[in-house]
Structure formats: structure tokens, C-alpha cells
Chains A and B, each alone.
Chain A
Amino acid sequence: MDSALIPEGVKRCSFGKFALGIILVGGVLLWGVYAMLLIWLKGLNQTNMNDFYGFALWIWADLGVIALGGGAFFIGLLRYIIGKDELKNIINYAVLIGFICYSSALLILAIDVGQPLRSWFIFWHANIHSMLTEVAFCLSCYFAVLTIEYIPLILENRQLNKVPFFHNLAHNMHEVMAIFAATGAFLSFFHQGSLGGTPAVLYGRPFAFREGVFIWPWTFFLFTWSAAAYGPCFTLFVTRLTEKITKKKLVKQNVIDLLAKISGWTMGTYIIAKIIDTWYWATVTAPAMGFNLIDFYSNNPFYGVWILVAEIVICGIVPALILLTPKGRSNSTLLFTAVSLACIGVLLNRWVMVLQVMAVPVMTFENWVMYIPSWQEVATTILPVAYGVILVMISFRYLPIFPQERELNS
């Protein structure tokens, strides 16, 4: 039915199967849209956020998708600026995933603010001292860059590409893509960092506060570093997942191996920096404010030392070691385990830096406050996931995302 739109030389499932998939995921999407409308119409009282949890599930989701979407800028940097040419075979997918992640982040932010119609105040009345201002500017600009990077891919659709203007536009955009890749990397370094700075500048919150250099707290660098390390892992994770679902080999092993190796090194060095940061915070920063490390991990039903071990050891050191060894990278089960653990690790880190910051009591006469999101919050967090799946399905079916697919499946 839609074979004229499908890239030449590749096989796709029947249109009926594809449409059924879209309808199923579309149902989930509509559930999220319903919750989103409820929130926009009735307000944030539809959530389980409260005055202790001004930041909650959505801000975690925001930080999470931006970290996971970091693969786009880092792979772009490696491909166009550093010159790792093999990565051209995975950059399209990284851009698509990045586009989904960043558009999701913007959507979640639009739901999260109390007065969405005033969102533009962040640009109009910008406070240059606020980390969020920097995040808003860079995030918007980088989303524009990702859109520019995604457009030539759309124009390469079999039918669109027949139009000479679109063909030439796509070609010329590819020619200058290095400029956008460099711009994207520059912007990402700053907004990933500013997101790291967002909790760390809260000097009234000893769990979050970090010292640093000049105006940048250490987490400014750690967040950028972790996005560079874990973002490509998410690209590898989704690529592997797509391969499993479509039962096709889409990217050659040498490309996977190279990216996994680079991620391993970035992750390994990040984890060392993270351990040093945690050590300094636990032994110097927090005690100066009257807190022992264990104060942050006791007297509550959820946040224990396990979360620190899970983030740093199980989802940090372990995947880094797997990715650093040739055997780990060549074994598909081990590789998939490593990238999965890595994704959990970075999401755990963002959770801790958002939710645990809110949970820890600061005044001596207050207690830990726990939080369970409402169904509206959950539905609106799943909404971008459903949107992402649909965009991946459509893009995979109609656009030449994987340059090596034809060769690998002939």
C-alpha cells in the first residue's frame, strides 16, 4: 500500500501490521494527551506534587531524556568534528533519538509550569544568574539545531527526494552539517552543564549543593560528562532494541564496537570523577553544613545507601568495565546488559539529583517526605515515550535511517 514511500532495497512489515502498531501506541499517546489536557485545564492540582515537591517526576523525566538524548551531540561531535567516520552509520538514528528526547523535554516543561502561557517570560524577563535561564536558551537553540539535523533525513524519503529542490536542499544541508554539529556540541556542553548546576547551586539544600570553579559547580561538568558517556549508550540500546524488534541487523559490529568503546572510556573517567565528587561532598561539603553522609540515606522508607551503590557501582563501574573490554563489547548479551545498566544509572543519577533533594529534611524539626506520582503525571511522562515510539516507527519505515541496512540484509 505504501511501498512507494519505503526506501529502496529494504524490507518492511505489512502496512496492516504497521498501522496496528501505530494504533496501539497511539492509544497510549491519547491517554497521555487526555492527562495533559486535564492538567492544562484544571491545573497542577492534578498531580501529587506539593510544596515539598516543587520538582518531581516531570523534572526527573526532563533531566533524564536530555541525558539520554546526549548521544546526538556527542556522536555528532565524534563524527563531524573529531572525524570518526564510521559513526556516519549510526548518526541518523542518534539525531532522531535526540530530536525525540529534546522535543519531549520541551513538551514536559510546557506541562510542568504553573502558568504555561507565561513560559516566554523566561526569555523576556531573563535572570542571567539563574541556571534555568541558561537551560531554556540553550535547550531551545539546540532543539532548533536538532530539527535542522533531522530535516535532511526527512527530505531523503524516496518520494520527497525526487523533487529537485528537496534533493538539493538535503544535499547542501549535509554539506554544512559539521557547522551544526559543532553548534550542537557547544550548546549541549552548556545546557547539560546548566542542568547539572540547577540542583548544585541550591546552597540551602545540603544534599544537592556542590562547590566548584568560578560560577560552575562540579556537577556542571559531571552532567555534561555523563550525558556524553551515557547518551551514546541509549543510542546503542535503542538501536539494539530496534534490531531485535525488526529482526534485522541494522548497524555493523565495528560501528557498535567503536561507539561502545568510546562510551566505556567516557563512562570510566566520569565514574572516577563522580566518586571523587561524592567523596569530597560527603567528607567536606556536607559536614560543613552539619550533615553526615548517612543522614541522607537513613530514617526513611526508600532512600538508602543502596541507591548510591546502584548508581555508582552496578550502573556505573560495571557497565564501564564491560564496555572497556573487547570481549564485553563483542558479546551481544553483555553489551546489551551494559548499555541497559548505563541508561538506568544515568536515570538514577537524575532521580537522586531531583527527587532525593526534595525528600531530605533540612530543618531539624522536619521529616522526610515521600512522593508517589499521580496517574496524570505518569501518563504525561509516558506520553513522550509513546510519541517517540511512533516517530521512530514512521521514520524507520519511510526514511533511510540506517545506511548499512541494505548491505547487512541482502
Chain B
Amino acid sequence: MKEEGKHKKAKKYGMVINLDECTGCGACMVACMAENNVPFKEDESSKLDSIAWMRVYKLTNGKSYPEADICYLPRPCMHCEGDHGHSPCVSVCPATATDYNHETGIVSQIYTRCFGCRYCMAACPYHARYFNWWDPVWPEGSTKYLSPNVSPRMRGVVEKCSFCFHRYQLAMDKAYLEGRTELEEDEYQTSCTQACPAGAITFGDLNNPEHKVHQLAKPDNKHGGRPGNPNVFRLLERLGTNPKVYYMSSREWVRQAGDNYLDNEDFAKNYRH
């Protein structure tokens, strides 16, 4: 990827999720589904083929009482840039049905162009991409509650978290009408961020030093956006996906759970930021 393709002055929307504050209540998941018209099955007992743009994982430290500890980890799409400028999923899509927006850093999915080969799903190590195995069926009357700003998806295509991109578009429309080209930090926020009762999710422009996400993550753009904050980490950092979702925890085992390490690697010594 050429240098001009990379982010410099453009925006780079991202998240910092404070795992010490997340209670695992699932409000982010519910808000996301409602906001984005995410379809659901009559029987949701199998999670292998149910769609959750935002999924909350439960992590444990594997120890017994009194050292037992748990952590809830919300996982939206990571909107990877890739260390070399290629998102894992965008580069593989044969029909250009998923795209990396260099103005916002958001990875989009073009539902009407996707023909359902699922190569992008194979490419995503975070399982953030979901396939519509079924036609969406909305319970009687509930179609009135669908968001008019997000197109529902048809059977046979892939979908995923868009960082509520329609909210960005609406905010930009409003800004243009008011003669502005820039958004205030609170003008564009994702539904999960706003729904979190614990305030564990912070969303904003990682390139903007005035935004809270930047201050929390302290991303080092010269080194693939690696966090400067010692308590902040990204999932599977070593793969080079360069994700825009950062996690924060004061607990070392939680930070260590974010990536894979060899048995002979001393995490505390080598990987403590």
C-alpha cells in the first residue's frame, strides 16, 4: 500500500473499551441489534449461526477461589487497517463488496454487492463477520420498529458492525447544513457506546488528540497504532491486523488474554507496555 493511502490527517474512528468497567450486561448487544436491524432466529440457542455484530465474551483466569476472576469482553468489528495497509477481510473479497474508508477508517460492507462467498469470514480472526444463513423474519408488527436508516440484509450475504456508519452520515449531513465540515466528538457516537450503562465504551477519532479515545489509547501511528497506555491492548496484536478497537484493563491476565504467547515467553517481562 502506498504511503498516501494510509491515515494521516484523515479521521480514524475507534473505540477504547474499559474491561474493568464492563459488567457483561449485554446492553451494547441489544442496542446494536435494535439500531442496525440485526435479524434473529426463532431459536437462538445455537450461537454458531446467530448474528451479533457486538458480541460479549466471558473470560476467566482459570484459577479457583479465592483467585478466580472473570472479565467480560465486548467484541465489535475491529475495523482493521492492517499493519501494511490491507485489512484482512477487505483485501480478500473477490467482488469488492467490503471496503476500507480512508476518510474515517471504517470497514464497510456492501450488502447488495456481496454474493456470499464468505472468504472475508475465513479471513477475520475475530469472528466479527456473520453470514445470513436465513431470510430475516421479523415478528408481526415489529417491522414498524426497524430503523429506516439501515437497510435490512437478505439471505446469503455477509454482514458486520459498521460503527453505526449511518449515524456518521446523519451527523455529517447536519454539519454540512450548518456550514461545518468537522464533527464535534459527541455528534457521532455508536449505539453501543451510548447504551453502555457503565460507560465502559469510549468512541471517537483516534487521530484527534482532543478526543478521549486518543487520550486513553495513546495510539502510536508510526508503529501500526500500537497503544502507548500500558493498560491498553488490542486483540491479536501480533497478527498485524492493526485494529481500531482498544481494550483497557488494570489486570495483567486480562491483557495477556488478548493475544497468544509461547510457553517460554515471559509476558510480564516482554510484553508489559
Q: Which among B109-117, B144-152, B189-197, B208-216 touches the partner chain? A: B109-117
Residues of chain B with a CB closer than 8 A to A292's CB: 262-263
Let me know if B131 is at the binding interface, CB within 8 A.
yes
Let me know if B59 is at the binding interface, CB within 8 A.
yes
Q: Please pick, from A44, A50, A119, A363, the residue contacting B235 in the complex, using a CB distance under 8 A.
A: A363
Distance of A116 from chain B, by nearest CB (Å): 8
Distance of B198 from chain A, by nearest CB (Å): 20
Distance of A338 from chain B, by nearest CB (Å): 33
Q: How many A-B pairs with Cβ below 8 Å? A: 166
Distance of B69 from chain A, by nearest CB (Å): 13
A287–B263 Cα gap in the complex (Å)? 10
Residues of chain A with a CB closer than 8 A to B156's CB: 43-44, 113-115
**Judging by beta carbons under 8 Å apart, are B238 and A289 in contact?**
yes
Residue interface mask B53-75, A partner, CB < 8 A = 1? 00001110000000000000100
Let me know if A272 is at the binding interface, CB within 8 A.
no
Let me know if A333 is at the binding interface, CB within 8 A.
no
Residue interface mask B250-266, A partner, CB < 8 A = 1? 00000001111111010
Q: Which residue of chain A is the closest to B57 with respect to CB atoms?
A: A365
Please count how many residues in chain B sit with their CB below 8 Å of the partner chain's CB atoms. 57
**Judging by beta carbons under 8 Å apart, are B48 and A364 in contact?**
no
Q: Please pick, from B92, B116, B127, B265, the residue contacting A52 in the complex, using a CB distance under 8 A.
A: B127
A206–B236 Cα gap in the complex (Å)? 11
A289–B262 Cα gap in the complex (Å)? 9
Using known A-B contacts A43-B134, A201-B91, A363-B125, determine if residue A288 contacts B118 with beta carbons closer than 8 Å.
no
Distance of A352 from chain B, by nearest CB (Å): 14
Let me know if A130 is at the binding interface, CB within 8 A.
yes
Distance of A308 from chain B, by nearest CB (Å): 19
Residues of chain B with a CB closer than 8 A to A115's CB: 114-116, 154, 156-157
Distance of B101 from chain A, by nearest CB (Å): 16
**Judging by beta carbons under 8 Å apart, are A44 and B133 in contact?**
yes
Residues of chain B with a CB closer than 8 A to A127's CB: 91, 93-96
Let me know if A122 is at the binding interface, CB within 8 A.
yes
Please count how many residues in chain A sit with their CB below 8 Å of the partner chain's CB atoms. 51
Residues of chain B with a CB closer than 8 A to A113's CB: 115-117, 156
**Judging by beta carbons under 8 Å apart, are B155 and A43 in contact?**
yes
Residues of chain A with a CB closer than 8 A to B261's CB: 290
Q: Please pick, from A119, A132, A206, the residue contacting B92 in the complex, using a CB distance under 8 A.
A: A132
Let me know if B170 is at the binding interface, CB within 8 A.
no
A122–B134 Cα gap in the complex (Å)? 23
Q: Which residue of chain A is the closest to B46 with respect to CB atoms?
A: A50
Residues of chain A with a CB closer than 8 A to B119's CB: 54-55, 130, 132, 198
Q: Which residue of chain A is the closest to B89 with respect to CB atoms?
A: A204
A287–B132 Cα gap in the complex (Å)? 35
Let me know if B36 is at the binding interface, CB within 8 A.
no
Let me know if B241 is at the binding interface, CB within 8 A.
yes
Residues 168-207 of A contacting B (Cβ, < 8 Å)? 198-199, 201-206
**Judging by beta carbons under 8 Å apart, are A121 and B121 in contact?**
no
Let me know if B171 is at the binding interface, CB within 8 A.
no
Distance of A198 from chain B, by nearest CB (Å): 8
Distance of A321 from chain B, by nearest CB (Å): 35
Q: Which residue of chain A is the closest to B128 with respect to CB atoms?
A: A51
Q: Please pick, from B95, B130, B238, the residue contacting A290 in the complex, using a CB distance under 8 A.
A: B238
**Judging by beta carbons under 8 Å apart, are A51 and B48 in contact?**
yes
Q: Please pick, from B59, B96, B157, the residue contacting A125 in the complex, using a CB distance under 8 A.
A: B96
**Judging by beta carbons under 8 Å apart, are B94 and A358 in contact?**
no
**Judging by beta carbons under 8 Å apart, are A132 and B117 in contact?**
yes
Residues of chain B with a CB closer than 8 A to A362's CB: 125, 236, 239, 260
**Judging by beta carbons under 8 Å apart, are A288 and B129 in contact?**
no
Q: Please pick, from B86, B131, B134, B157, the residue contacting A54 in the complex, using a CB distance under 8 A.
A: B131
Question: Known contacts A55-B119, A114-B156; can you find 17 more A-B pairs with CB under 8 A?
Answer: A43-B133, A44-B156, A50-B46, A51-B130, A112-B117, A114-B157, A118-B95, A119-B115, A126-B95, A130-B91, A202-B92, A203-B82, A204-B126, A205-B125, A290-B238, A365-B73, A365-B257
Chain A residues in contact with chain B, CB under 8 A? 43-45, 49-52, 54-55, 112-116, 118-119, 121-122, 124-127, 129-133, 136, 198-199, 201-206, 287-292, 295, 357-358, 362-366, 369
